[in-house]
Each structure stands twice: as C-alpha cells, then as structure tokens.
Structure 1
C-alpha cells in the first residue's frame, strides 16, 4: 500500500498553490475520491508545475486507480523536487513492481532503505522483488532483516514463501505457523501451510489447512483449487468439479474437464470440449490438448484442438557439450551439489524407488544449478527456432519470457521409474540427463517414453502409440507439456539422475497472496 503524502511544504523560489487552493484537492483525496482528486490535482499542477505534494497526490491516486505508468511518472517528478523522501521511493518501488519492472523497483526500495535504514516495509518489499527475480538467498536475507526491525504476520508469510521456493519446507512451515499465530485469520498462510504439508506427503494435515482456509474465506481461490486437486487425485471427480469451478484459478477449466472425462461422462465432456474449441481464440492450453487428443484417439474422431496435435513431431533431443565431454567438471559440480546441498525431498507418489527434490532448483544460489538453468533457456530458444513456422499454438504463442514453472532433480535406484504423467502447468517440459544405468538387460531400460495415454484415462481400446528417446549422459530432451511420459524401469544396481523442468506459460499461473 502506498504511503500517504507528507504535510504541505513550500518549494523555495517557485510559485506554490495557496492553502485555499490546495484544500479542495486534499478534501477529495482524504475522502478517498481518487478520480475526482486526480482531476483536481491535474488542473492545479498545470498552474503550479513545481509543487511536490501535487505530484505525490497524483501518484497515489493513479496507483490506487491502477494507472501504474502515470503513477510512476508523477512519483519520479515529485522525487526530482524532493529526492530525499523515503516514502516516495517506497511508493515508486510498489508501482514499478506492479509494472513488472523488478530491477528498477529494487533500486527504489534500496534508496528508501538508504534514507531510512529501519524502514521495515521497504526491506520486506525488497525481498519480494528479489524473490520475483529468482534471487532467493538475497530475498530470505531481506525478509529476515525486515522481521528483525518489526515482526509482523506478512513478514513471516513472505519469508515462508521464499523458503518454500528454496525447498526448505520445515522452515517454511515454521514461518507460516508464526504468521497464523500472530494473525489467526490469515487465509493465505493457512493455504500455503497446507501446500507445504502436501509437498511433504502429509495429506491429512494439508486438507485440514485447506478447510481452515475455506472456513475463513469460502471463495478462496487457492484452497478451492487445492481441494479440487486432492479430490480428483482421490478419484472423487464430481466433488472435485465443484471446488474447481469455485476456484476459477489457473487451469481450473482443464482440470474440471479432466474430471468429467475420468468420470466417463463422455457426452458432457464432448459438449464442453466443443464449446471451448470454438469459444477460445487461441488453443493455448497444453492440458486441454492432452484431453482432446486422448478423446480423439479413444473414439476415432478428429482432434479439433490445436495447441500441438502432433506432439510426437515436436520431441527434441540434443547433447550439451560441456556436460557430455569426458571428465566434465560441470557434470561433477552438478552431481556434487545434488549430493551435498541441503534440499528437502518432495513426496511424489509417481516416483517409484527414488526421490524428487522440493522447491525450484534453478532459483537456488548454487552456481551449477544457475548455469544449467541458463543453458536450458538457450535450448528453449533453439527449440523454438527448430520448429519455427509450425501451425500450432505451441510455437505461434511461444512464451516471450523464459521462466521456469519449476525445476527439480529425480534420483532413481534399482527398479526405479517415474510413472506416466503430464506436467499440467508447463508449456515445454524436459530433462537433462546426468547419470544413466549402463548394465541393461533390455536396451530400453532407463529410457524416456512418451505417448498419448496415461493416468488411468478411460480406454475404449489400447491402440495408443508411444515413442522412445534413448538419452546419453549430457543430453537434453524437450517436448510439449501435453505429452504423457514416463521412465522405463531399469534392473541394474545403479542410479539414474536427471534434472527436470517446465517452461512457464505466458501470464501469471501462480496464486496471488493477500490478507
């Protein structure tokens, strides 16, 4: 929230409005009539262009009206008149954050802190923009600094979100609980706490927290979505649809359609899918492609959805030379960081005889993970160029901002595999292979299989094609997130280690948090 204007101050050697002229503007502003206050301030500033408080009022009004570009301009003008105003640097930081200009917002918050070192809100907001830039270690330090000055529930909540991104679930749980202890009605904290329990495999406590959230706010989008997700994983599809439709969050429509299909309400599924196909200008939902393609193959009808109808044609495999070279130091660094870095494990039912890391690996501070993340981003560009001109939304609407929805390692041991699944919140999914079994009874052991069927989708026949990629150490494999895929089990007493990831779709797919 923007800080309120400072008391009226005269600018030396410049004509200023009188108290009588300022009074109507201040009355409108203090009454919360932002449109009228903005209009009145604009008229007055045209006559008195060097009046600090008018630019400040304009900035706050425009911020409140979501006119963020104009607000930023007026905050900047006010700062040319009084550059040593910490509250104004803080307000400008908020506006720049709303514009997605995180690096510029960081500069504004740091200026506010320089002028007022104990400005705990600025330390907290600095943590937020650092977190948005993937600089988790710095974000955690900023949140801790803010809490050392002033302990409040939002500070603990923000710190919890960053620790969760780092994969430090126990620490995150501690801070979400502290936020709730200070503010028992903090719905988002209850919901995020539930998600941490879910990631630890503790579904009993996770569901209790989702219900606690919904008791505070029955329309809470995140908790409704999480309950819908739990119910559809439990096979309670009709109940799941009710929660998903209340959430209206992220890919709720695809997940509700999934439940309709899994419940074998095929006529209702077809009607809903036909409506989506014709109502959506762009076919840009990978999960809908999964459902549409399965239905088309299952019932022998045309696949009308065109995110990427022919997913098999868009599987990409390439060697990363720095990883594939003999005695690769880069490979050794990655394996060392996987082995020795304190990263918590996420409970994952589809990972058999193995484990998966929690958090977002490419946002961690270790240099090897950061470096691999940048290499993968370049491969995303290479992928787009490889398939340039393809007549599908996968390529035509390829995300402009290359961000990771998530990234994680998977370590499998003898008999290990990852069951068939898709990544519902990805655009492009993939993996980089670091260790592979060599003692194989069958050449496909440990290989990557992709196809059109999985997750116990209802079958009218079993004629669903599959493809196999046989990676080598140092290879990267990329594919549309709409494709089912799995690891073929291996029987040798060896390990299989890869780092997997998803390219984030365009737009904000994450739950926004607020009190």
Structure 2
C-alpha cells in the first residue's frame, strides 16, 4: 500500500495523506476506500537548519517530519516522527501521522497503538477516530472498527470518507441495508466521490441489485477514468450478470492501469476459469500471489485451478496455505477437506472443519463422522444441524446413506427418498433444433475446446468452465429449453413437502459442462453436493457391442462412495437413456453410469442449478 499526499483547499491550507487499501477476497469482494490522515498546517517561515549547533526545537522536528511526509519521503518522515516521540514530546500530529506510516508498512498493531495515543492527546479529532477505525478493520476487529468510525462521524457529520468506510465495515458485518445508507450519504456529501460510488456498487451487488450496482461502478469510472478498483469491481458485477467477456475486459483494464494490482489479477483468474481458459487463469492467479504472497483468496483460487488441471499435490499445498492464513475462509477449508476425504484422511479433514462454523463446513463435518462410522458423534452433530434447519444437498446425501446403515429413519431437511424425485422428459426439435444439437456435439469434438480433469470420469473428457458463459446461439437455445424443463420439474413436485422444493432458491445460477465417453468409459458414483438440482441432456447415444442391456445407462443409489456400507442394500435404480432425453433429480442423489463397449462416443450436456 502506498501513502499519497494531497493538498486540500479551505480557509487554511491543510496537507492530507491518503493511504489507500486495495481490494479483498476474489472478484466478488474487491474493496476500495480513501484513507485521509490529516497532516496539520505547518507554521510559516520555520526552517530546519542542520548546521545549527543547538538541538532542534519540538516544532522544528515535527515540521520537518511533516515536510518529508508531504513530499513522499516516508523513511525520513518516519525517522523524524520516531525521534519526536522518543524525546517524550506529545503532539497528536506526530502519533497520528506515524500511525499512517506504520499502517502503510503493514505494522497494524503498532499503527493501532500510535493512533490510540493521538486520540488520548486530542479526543475530539475526527481524523484519528477514522484512522483507527480503518486500522481495526484491517485487523479484523469489525465491531470496534464500527464504534470508532461512528465516533468520527459524530464529531464531523459531513465526513464523507468516514461514511464511506462505515458502509464497508457494515457490509463486512452483513448489515447491507445500513451499509447502503451510509455509502449513499457519503455520495450525497461528496457527489463526485469515485471511491464511494465503487463501494456502493459492491454493496448493491451483495444485496442482489446487480443492474444498479453496475451503474454505480460505471459512475465511479466516469468520475475517475483511471480508477483501477472501480474497473476490478465492475468486473465482478459483470461476471455475476453473466457478461463474462465484458468482465474479462474490465479486469484487464484494472491491471493495465495498475500492473501490480494483486486483487485484479486474482479476479481475472476467476473470470478466465469460468470462461474455460485454465492455463491463463493459472498464470494470472500465480501473478496475484507473486505480488501478494499471503493472499489467502488467491491461494484458494490457485488450489481450485490446480485440481482442475490434475496437479493435486500442488493444489493441496496451496489450499493448506490458504486455510492456515485464513481459517474463516470457508470455501478454502471446504475444498481442502473434500480433497482430504478423497485421500481417506478423514481425521485430518475433521481437524480443519472443526475450526470453521459455516454451514457448508459443518455439513461436511457430519459426512466425515459418517465416513469414520462414529455413530454417537454423528447423531449429536445431526441433531445440532437439524435444530439449525440446515438444508443443502450435502446433508441430503449423508442422511439417506446413514438411514440405511444405522437402520434408523433420519429426517432429511433437503430430500427424503430422493429417487422418487427423478424426472425423465424429452427436449423436442421445437425447443432445441437438430442443427443446434449437432453444433453442440461439434463443440466438444473441436480440438480447440478446453478440457479439465475430472476424477470420477474414466475414459472420457469434460469441458472446462461454465458453458453458459459462452455467447453462442446453441448455448442460448439449450439454456432456454432447460429453464422450461426446470420449471416443469418444480411444478410437478410442488406438493411434495420436501425441503429442496419448499426452500427453492430465490436467487440461483445455472452452471453447465459437457462430457464425452469412449469405449469402456463411465462415471464413478458421486453426487453434486454443492448443487440444488442436477440434470443431464443426452446428445449422442452409441450403438453398444457388449451384451449388457444396461450399457451406458444412468444408475441412482443412496450409497455414498466414501461412507461404510455395512453390507446393506442401497436400492440401486437403473434408467435407460435415449437421444434427447433429459433427466433432472435432486443434487443430493448419488449416481453413476454403466460402462459400455462401442466405437462411438456417448455425449451428454450436464447442468446444476446452484443457490447463490
């Protein structure tokens, strides 16, 4: 972070230092805010003569420190502030401005101490409360940060910067309505406040007001066309709007303005991954980490990318480092635990999951207990999660399996007896033309189409990224056809009383990919624990040469692949599939495909409806 000195014009000339923090977490959480730290007006006509044999006075030391600070000579400014403080002089300017420098050097604890001293000396200086609020925010002490920032506003009700930073603090605390109110107040006080407009975009994005969020970030760019943060924030919003190519351009613009912008590099990596460009995504994510080695969100993103690139050992190291740096980063903890589960390291997975209280991590914790066959602990955790009314596909799959091996009827808040909610339909020519169907087949057969590693897929390939991010006519056509079938599915089971229908997400996204299998190919048992409902549309079914009547068919079961089976019957159900069949089912349901023998390929289009 760089310290920037600017000059504000008022009845008196006041030199102000602005220390700007760049961003947070992945594309969806980039933060920007100005940080003014007041440098008090220097007394006129005072010179600092190093040739004078006598010791410099208190005012000479502080004025020289401020002079160096205003010129950007931070090392010399720090030396003079420190000298001033060490001599026992008490002046809020020295402690406040030295806090600026300590913060810019990443010495947040020392910055906090210095700024608290400034407040102790002068309890009515709004800037010091504001500065301390920002330092505490960076230290993760959000409630304290809120308290001190509110004090700054109490002392100076028209303090636009304080209103804006309070908006970001409240956003982090989950109070989006009040966060929006304070950020709008900052813009009301200071209409051309680019940072506040950009921050408002982030808050509106979090509350689902994507169109207005886009307008707010574009307003920030209109005010300041070289505002890298606003371009990066806009990229995240455009990504959520499904405008991935525009999002990519916006993130690239942020990097062009500010080449060492770690958050923008990480954000671009996320966008490129969604676009299926895994190699370039890896390159930009590594660059983000090179710029900012302890960037937990980027380390998580890299781990996720490396799994898709079949570099599991390196991926685990990256995920482990992300979790060590930020145990509260639930998506990193979850990915680490999932991969430890694949390696049957359930005890180690429990160790990391126990430190994260998010619903997703605690649901996976329940699964680890089932894997270890710890029935008593499983029952205790099940009761705990039931009281919280946890409803997700992870829980659904775990409980269906546990009900069978423990011979106890557990109630699933997601879906009970999920096989009852498997729907087979047809997508006809009118909804999706043969021409578009053939173009889709050609897409996966094109050697330029990028693929990803998929651990459950044998003798086959899977496209990378989210196909719904592609602006192609056949993608738009199949999405429209699928949305009609999803609505039909929801209506068919509307009276089921099942949690996944009753709690159908108000805000969701569709993610899709294609799978092609060759002779001997199959998908091993798995479920889509991150989804809500899952579906597959069959584009090409080969002529089978083996005698198995179930060749290439899809099979459903309540048997989870990582859980003990105790010799129980898990009610296998096999369904015959044909070209143009579409199958939709709860994401909790475990499924696999039957191996086949053929010279032709078996091709399908798979999708998940995912809660936002």
**TM-score under structure 1 normalisation?**
0.84
1:345 equivalent in alignment to 2:451:
yes
Q: In the TM superposition, what whole-angstrom CA distance separates every residue of 1:68-90 from its partner, at most 9, and x where no partner exists?
A: 43554565566578755534432
2:398 to 291, 297, 300: 291
Instruction: Give the aligned partner of residue 268 of structure 1.
Output: 377
Alpha-carbon deviation of 1:462?
Answer: 4.0
In structure 2, do the counterparts of structure 1 residues 114 and 208 end up closer, same or farther at CA, with 3 Å as the change threshold? same
Secondary structure of the corresponding residue to residue 403 of structure 1:
strand
* CA pair 244-124 structure 1, distance change in 2 beyond 3 A: same
Q: Check the 8 A contact 1:261/1:269 in 2, yes or no.
A: yes
Structure 1 gaps of 5+ residues are 8-22, 45-52, 508-515
Describe the SS at the equivalent of 1:382: helix
Cα separation, partners in 2 of 1:429 and 1:411, compared to 1, 3 Å:
same
How much does 1:453 deviate? 1.5
Measured in 1, the distance between the counterparts of 2:183 and 2:375 equals: 56
Structure 1 residue 456, shift from structure 2 partner: 5.0
Task: Report the alpha carbon displacement of residue 436 of structure 1 after superposing the two structures with TM.
Answer: 1.1
- CA deviation map 1:285-322 (0-9, x unaligned): 22222222222222332232242112121111111123
Superposed CA deviations along residues 342-384 of structure 1, whole A, max 9, x for unmatched, are 4432222221110122222222333322432343233222211
CA distance in 1, matches of 2:355, 2:183: 39
Which residue of structure 2 aligns with residue 36 of structure 1?
151
Query: In structure 2, what is the equivalent of residue 500 of structure 1?
Result: 606
Q: What is the 5 A alignment of 1:118-267?
A: 118-151=226-259, 152-214=261-323, 216-217=325-326, 220-249=329-358, 251-267=360-376
Higher relative contact order (CA 8 A, sep 6+): 1
Would the aligned equivalents of 1:429 and 1:479 in 2 still touch at CA under 8 Å? yes
Distance 1:324 1:436 in 2: 20
Q: 1:368 is matched with which residue: 474, 495, 515?
A: 474
Q: What are the within-5 Å matches in structure 2 for residues 456-475 of structure 1?
A: 457-475=563-581
Q: Does 1:410 align with 2:515?
A: yes
Offset of residue 141 of structure 1: 0.9
Q: For 1:85-122, what per-residue CA distance to the aligned partner results, in whole angstroms no more than 9, with x for missing partners?
A: 53443233233223232211111222222332222211
C-alpha contact 1:426 1:481 (8 A) present in aligned 2: yes
8 Å CA contact retained: 1:221, 1:246: no
Selected match of 1:314 from 418, 421, 426: 421
Max radius of gyration: which structure? 2
Residue 339 of structure 1, CA deviation: 2.8
1:18 maps to which residue? Answer: none
Q: Please give the alpha-carbon distance, in whole angstroms, between the structure 2 residues aligned to 1:80 and 1:236.
A: 55
Q: Give me the whole-angstrom Cα distance separating, in 2, the residues matched to 1:339 and 1:68.
A: 46
> How far apart, CA to CA, are the structure 1 residues paired with 2:348 and 2:275?
33
Which runs of 5 or more residues in structure 2 are unaligned? 1-30, 38-123, 134-147
Structure 1 partner of 2:412 = 305
Distance 2:425 2:353 in 1: 39
Q: Tell me if structure 1 keeps the 8 A contact 2:333–2:361.
A: no
- Partners of 2:576 and 2:247 in 1: CA distance: 40
| Aligned equivalents of 2:364, 2:300: Cα separation in 1 | 19
Asked if 1 retains the 8 angstrom alpha-carbon contact of 2:537 and 2:581, the reply is yes
Give the Cα separation in 2 of the matches to 1:27 and 1:205.
44
Describe the shift of the 1:258–1:434 C-alpha distance in structure 2 as closer, same or farther (beyond 3 A).
same
Q: 3-state DSSP class of the match of 1:501?
A: strand
Summarize the Cα distance change of 1:266–1:138 in structure 2 as closer, same or farther, 3 Å threshold.
same
Matched residues in 1 for 2:267 and 2:597: separation? 44
TM-fit CA distance, 1:217: 4.5
**Distance in 1 between residues matched to 2:390 and 2:337, nearest whole Å:** 24
**Equivalenced residues, count:** 478
Shift of the alpha carbon at 1:149? Answer: 1.3
DSSP-derived class of the 1:106 partner: helix
Among candidates 521, 528, 553, match of residue 423 of structure 1: 528
**Cα 1:254–1:4 shift into 2, 3 Å:** closer
C-alpha distance 360-123 of structure 1, shift in aligned 2 (>3 A): same
How far apart, in 2, do the equivalents of 1:391 and 1:34 lie?
47
Shift of 1:128: 1.1
Query: What does residue 334 of structure 1 align with?
Result: 440
Which secondary structure does the structure 2 equivalent of 1:197 belong to? helix
Q: What is the aligned-residue RMSD (CA, Å)?
A: 2.9
Relative to structure 2, which stretch is displaced further, 384-393 or 95-104?
95-104
> Deviations along 1:33-75, whole A, 9 cap, x unmatched?
322344566xx6xxxxxxxx56675454344334543554565
TM-score, length-normalised on structure 2?
Answer: 0.71
